[in-house]
Amino acid sequence: MTKTILKRIDTTRDARLARLFELVRIPSVSTDPAYAADVRRAADWLAATLRDMGAEADVRDTEGHPMVLGHLKGPDGAPHVLFYGHYDVQPPDPLELWETEPFEPVLRPAGDDHHIVGRGASDDKGALMTFVEACRAWIDAEGKLPLTVSFLFEGEEESGSASLPGFLNDAADELACDVVLVCDSDMFDPKTPAVTTRLRGFVAEEISVSGADRDLHSGMFGNAAANALTVLTTILASLRAPDGSVAIDGFYDDVAPLPTETADAWTKLPFDGDKFLADIGLDAPAGERDRTVLEQLWVRPSCEIHGIWGGYSGPGYKTVIPCEANAKISFRLASGQDPERIRAIFRKHVEKRLPPDCKVTFTAQASAPAWALEPGNPYIQPVLDGLADEWGRSTTMGTGGSIPIVGALQDALGVDALLVGFANLDNRIHSPNEKYDLSSFEKGTRSWVHVIDRISRCG
């Protein structure tokens, strides 16, 4: 059966690329209110695309950007999968670093492959469309899918998913399914697709340290007056120990051990930590010295400083002692760690080191716990087998990133999510010149045909 469908995919590349290019051309930037009409235009486009395939689909309003919900009915008794993707994208800035127009996608030769270049080409429009196009090909070739499929396309993933939890709770009955498939993830390497079974959690904070009631002349007040930037950077430096560990009291108390089965499987992966670092111009891992690079990336908690500002940073010198200094910080969390506990002990760490005459203000940003898929999930092996049908191999893996939707879906619907994506680590998502390999688009679409076939046999 799948041969006919795969042939349909192979003979419709131009039409499939044209549809993806149409979607990428819509600047659906969710974080900037100026693009709100474009976000809705992308939602309308997706709903119309699903209806063109025979699905019942519409755009659902939320307090923020809209959701797209669609359904394709399969045979009675067949498994029911919910496919999740997001159609919103990051802002294209800085525009001067793009080699092409960010919302005018192009197909560029790249060695033995081609790159689809444009904002959202990889994250997440290209990935989303691999599944949509696999369903289209199956319907065109066979008349209907061998299982029931629901589609949930979000328009706020890149801006915090504020409307998603409420929407999931309100639509839980309509979204009921046997398993969720999420396409917002990566390949293990360019030739090995994977099911991602672990995600780190996340806590983000912004802090502001203040001292005097105004900026001061460094000659007239130097030494005598507290320098907010000095205070802040001293505190930030205290967050890490010389051995690369996070130096907050109690930070590691609740970290759950990695299951032996998972640890053993990861030792067999062809991962070269030295090469991973060399590929980004580095030589030595900066995390805990007694942990491998793979552990540091996938399962160990971390602390990172993302930005510091205060005082004067323009041309020349303005010799002031700044009265205020600010920083953005985040923590990636391991299984077992409570995001709000980590937020609390971080704040305690900062307050304990604050000198007299200085104050600190904290602004809580996003948070989410770590997530892990139980090894016994009955859909893992069928999905791995489907991926191997196309690529000749497949594996499970972890990732250091955080995808709050996975936990939210699990909480609201009571079912597991399997993360299956075809992105490569060099896709420059969130950066200028974002790209999606043409091979990812082609083989990803073909892979979903095999996965749909394998899951349909689970009924």
Distance CA 452, CA 102 (A): 33
- The residue with greater pLDDT, 263 or 136, is 136
DSSP annotation of 412 reads: H
Confirm if 186 and 389 have CB atoms less than 8 A apart: no
Predicted confidence at residue 250, as pLDDT, reads 98
Q: Which of 238, 426, 424, 199 is nearest to 332 (CA)?
A: 199
Neighbouring CB atoms inside 10 A of 46's CB total: 27
Q: Give 110-148 pLDDT, tens digit per residue.
A: 999 999 999 999 999 999 999 999 999 999 999 999 999
Kind of pairing between the strands at 194-199 and 359-368: unpaired
Distance CA 175, CA 195 (A): 22
Mean pLDDT of 62-86: 97
Q: Give 339-373 pLDDT, tens digit per residue.
A: 999 999 999 999 999 999 999 999 999 898 999 98
Distance CA 136, CA 130 (A): 10
Cis, peptide link before residue 94, omega less than 30° from 0: yes
Confirm if 7 and 454 have CB atoms less than 8 A apart: no
Predicted confidence at residue 184, as pLDDT, reads 87
For residue 260, is pLDDT > 80? yes
For residue 396, is pLDDT > 80? yes
Query: Is this structure's pTM higher than 0.75?
Result: yes
pLDDT grade, residue 409 (50/70/90)?
Answer: confident
Q: Give 20-71 pLDDT, tens digit per residue.
A: 999 999 999 999 999 999 999 999 999 999 999 999 999 999 999 999 999 9
Q: Which of 56, 53, 152 is nearest to 415 (CA)?
A: 152
Mean pLDDT of 300-321: 95
Residue type, 252: Y
For residue 459, is pLDDT > 70? no
Q: Give 8-19 pLDDT, tens digit per residue.
A: 999 999 999 999
Contacts of 295 (CB under 8 A, 6+ apart): 258
For residue 181, is pLDDT > 90? yes
Q: Which neighbouring-strand residues pair with 309? A: 326
Confirm if 342 and 353 have CB atoms less than 8 A apart: no
Q: Give 139-173 pLDDT, tens digit per residue.
A: 999 999 999 999 999 999 998 888 999 999 999 99
Confirm if 331 and 240 have CB atoms less than 8 A apart: no
Q: How large a percentage of the chain has pLDDT more than 70?
A: 100
Q: In 3-state terms, what secondary structure has residue 276?
A: helix
**Count of positions (residues) in the chain:** 459
Domains identified in the chain and CATH numbers: 2-198+371-456 (3.40.630.10), 201-255+301-368 (3.30.70.360), 257-300 (no CATH)
